[in-house]
Amino acid sequence: MTRGELSGPSGPSQTAQQAGRGGCLRLGAAVFLMGLGALFLFVALVGFGLYRQGQVFITRAQELFQQPQPTPVVDMRTIVVRQVRGVSELTTAIFSMEAVVAQSRDRTLGPFVIGQTKLLYVAYGEVRAGVDLSRVSADDVQVISDTVIIRLPPPQILDRKIDVERSYVYDFERGLLGPEDPEMQSRAERVALEKITQTACETGILEEANQRAEMAVSTLLMAAGFREVRVVTRPPPPGTCEP
């Protein structure tokens, strides 16, 4: 066998092997490219999903902040209290009168009166009664739709005094042995004030104060827009008119 005969059959076998390896490389490259494409597609889908979720989150957040805010709740009771407290002077009832008071003091010697001092005093006094609306609180007010129910404090004597400018000593008499009494006029003023206060109470000054308060508060709240106003008054506590 010659050398040329030995080398002849090996040529086609090597070419087939090379062709097989080339096909494998091309197949591997195709698989790699397909895998890489699938990876890119997966990443793109995940990114798109995240983007959509972000858009939904942002939209929902905007909707949350753009929702209409609840209307502030206004306590109508507080408004009523503020309005009522401003009309205290309109609830005042005033009673005035003149009272004549006689005062005297004796000087005695044993059972005998040996001297006397007399005073006749004309006092002009004034008594003011009313309802202290500054004491009204939110607990005293009930608002139902356009109806308000309000409970007022009891009436009271706000002030009482003797007008010394309009009062005077009508008569003064002191006998030869009559005692000195520098407090006689002051006592006459106190007695006159007690008498005027008692007369004011007997003629219904506290009831008048309640009526004035009811009228003033009703008028005020009706003007404020309430269709119905119920004012509940209270009687004066015992001893209100005592000196």
The pLDDT value given to residue 238: 87
The pLDDT value given to residue 9: 47
**DSSP readout, 218-238?**
HHHHHHTT-SEEEEE--PPPT
* DSSP E strand boundaries for 63-111: 93-109
One-letter amino acid at 204 equals G
The pLDDT value given to residue 30: 64
Domain ranges in the chain?
13-66, 76-232
> How many angstroms separate the CA atoms of 74 and 84, rounded?
17
> How many angstroms separate the CA atoms of 55 and 137, rounded?
53
CB neighbour class for 42 (10 Å; exposed up to 12, middle 13-18, buried from 19): exposed
* Residues with Cβ within 8 Å of residue 76, at least 6 apart in sequence: 141, 143, 148
Block means of pLDDT (10 residues each) for the chain, length 243 residues? 44 55 62 67 60 60 56 57 66 90 87 86 94 88 88 93 94 83 91 94 93 89 87 90 73
Backbone angles phi, psi at 143, to 5 degrees: -115, 120
141 and 80 in contact (C-beta within 8 Å)?
Answer: yes
The pLDDT value given to residue 119: 92
The pTM of the full predicted model, rounded to 2 decimals, is 0.62
